[in-house]
Amino acid sequence: MKFKINLATQPYEDAQRFYLLWGTGLVLLAVVTGGLIYAAVQGWRHTHVIAQKINAERVNLDKLTAQEQQDIAILNKAENRDVRDKSHVLNNLIRRKEFSWTLIFADLEHIMPARLHVLSIAPHLDVNNDIQVRMVVAGDSRDKAIELVQNMEKSREFRHSQVLAETDIPRDQGGAQAGDLVQFEISAEYIPGALVTPAAEQKGGQ
C-alpha cells in the first residue's frame, strides 16, 4: 500500500490557474473601462460640436435681430414714414390678390359636411397680414358645424378655426334653405393652397 504524504510547510496552490483567472478578469475589466472612456470622450466631443453650432446660430440670430431693429428704426424716421406706409399698402394689395373666391369655395367643397352650406364669407387681413375669413353657415344640426371646424383644422388651407356664434332658426320661420334649423358664424385663418409651405404647416401644427 502506497500513501501520498505532503511534507511542504504550506499547502500546495495552483498558481498558474490563479494567474489565468485573475489575468482574464483584469483584461475584461480593462476592455470595459476602455469602452466606457471611449464612449464618454465621443459623447463629450458630440456635445461640444452641438454647443458650438448653437453658439454660432445664436450669434447669427443676434446679428439678424440687430439688423431688423436698425431697419425698423430707419423706417420709423419721419422722412421715411411715407415709404413705410406705401410699402404697407402695397403688401396688403399683394395679399388681397392672393385671395381667390373660386379657390376658397373649391377648398370648402372638399371639407363641407352634408346638410351644411355657406351663407356668406367675409375675408380680411389681420395685423400680421394673414388672411382671415368669417363665414356664416347653416344646417340642420350643431354637430355638422363642429364637424366642419374639425375638418378645417385637419386641412392644409385653414388654421385656428372656431365657432364664434350660434343662432337657432325657428321652425316656422325657415332658413335660407328648407330644413335649416341652426346658423353658425365661424372664423379661421386661410392659406390658399398655392401658398401652403412647410413653414405654414409648422405654424398650423403648433
Residue pointed to by grid coordinates 375669413:
133
pLDDT digits (tens, 9 = 90+) for 59-72: 888 888 888 888 77
Cell of 195: 401658398
pLDDT digits (tens, 9 = 90+) for 81-120: 666 666 665 566 556 666 678 888 888 888 999 888 888 9
Domain ranges of the chain: 14-76, 99-205
pLDDT class for 187, splitting at 50, 70, 90?
Answer: very high
Topology of domain 99-205, per CATH?
Alpha-Beta Plaits (3.30.70)
Question: DSSP letter string over 30-41?
Answer: HHHHHHHHHHHH
Residue pointed to by grid coordinates 463629450:
44
Please check whether residue 148 is in contact with residue 137, taking contact to mean a CB–CB distance below 8 angstroms: yes
In the structure, how many helices (H) and strands (E) does the chain have? 5, 4
Q: How far is CA 202 from the centre of its chain?
A: 4
Q: For position 195, what pLDDT does the model report?
A: 46
> What mean pLDDT comes out for the span 175-184?
74
CA 173 to CA 49: how far, in whole Å? Answer: 71
Nearest to 135 by CA among 189, 200, 192, 201: 189
Listed as own residue / partner, the contacts of 102-105 with beta carbons closer than 8 Å and 24 or more positions apart are 103/192, 103/193, 103/194, 104/133, 104/157, 104/190, 104/192
Q: For position 204, what pLDDT does the model report?
A: 45
Q: What is the mean pLDDT of the chain?
A: 77
Residue 179, Cβ neighbours under 10 Å: how many? 12
Q: In sequence order, which ranges of 77-128 are alpha helices (DSSP H)?
A: 81-97, 101-111
Is the pLDDT at 168 greater than 90? The verdict is no
